[in-house]
Amino acid sequence: MPESTPSLPSWLARGMADLFPAGDPADADQALVARLAQAEREQRPLRVKLGIDPTGSNIHLGHSILFRKLRAFQDAGHTAVLIIGDFTARIGDPTGKSATRVQLTKEQVAANASTYLRQLGQDQPKDTALLDFETPGRLEVRYNSEWLEGMDLPAVIGLLGTGTVGQMLAKDDFSKRYGSGTPIALHEFLYPLLQGYDSVAVNADVELGGTDQKFNV
């Protein structure tokens, strides 16, 4: 009899809406199963990236699903790479917005980021925290200003070359704004490309994101 195809572990499949790369969902499943198996053979944790922009004063309920999934990876022995988008927060995520966001100051972003980390359990025992801040090697907190703030013009132009205006206008929020004649600032087109670059900068093996962030991951 042929061997049965390994499936995603239940802790990973639970609460998942989509799995990429796009194509046959079974192929995407098997690619992740193979990656998990390889990490186990090599006795190394996967680097699982989740980014969050501190644009508001508190984490909202919609974030909790992603953070619970990130915690599940931690509990399975992998490294959560939490990216605080302190640079991209100053641009502002255009997703779902009918107009350009008001840009935040560095001080506002820093204050929000500090609150987010406390709400995630930075000062709590791991049994009560949303993320495990205690166990060595289970959490890496990074700020995307580390690599984006020093990016020079040739690097920015190279990054812009990885996307097209057509791709940007295919996004529902940009499409609606363009169709209605609502202005779209050029820096808003750069936002998803910068978020995508975050994953490259931290050498992520797996990326987590909301269903509204598919273009960015």
Domains contained in the chain, CATH given: 45-211 (3.40.50.620)
**3-class DSSP assignment, residue 81:** strand
Tally of residues, the chain: 217
Tens of pLDDT, residue by residue over 88-128, are 998 866 665 555 667 788 999 999 999 999 999 999 999 99
More confident residue, 62 or 37: 37
Distance from the Cα of residue 85 to its chain's centroid: 9
Task: Please state, for a pLDDT cut of 90, what percent of the chain lies above it.
Answer: 52
Average pLDDT along the chain = 86
pLDDT score of 38 more than 60: yes
Tens of pLDDT, residue by residue over 142-161, are 999 999 999 999 999 999 99
Residue 80: name the closest of 136, 124, 40, 32 by CA. Answer: 136
Q: What is the pLDDT, as a whole number, of residue 2?
A: 41
Tens of pLDDT, residue by residue over 47-99, are 999 999 998 889 888 788 899 999 999 999 999 999 999 999 988 666 655 55
Q: What is the pLDDT, as a whole number, of residue 172?
A: 83
Q: Exposure string (b/e) for 31-57, b if CB count within 10 Å is 16 or more?
A: ebbeebeebeeeeebbbbbbbbbbbee
- Cα dihedral sign, 98-17-68-81: negative
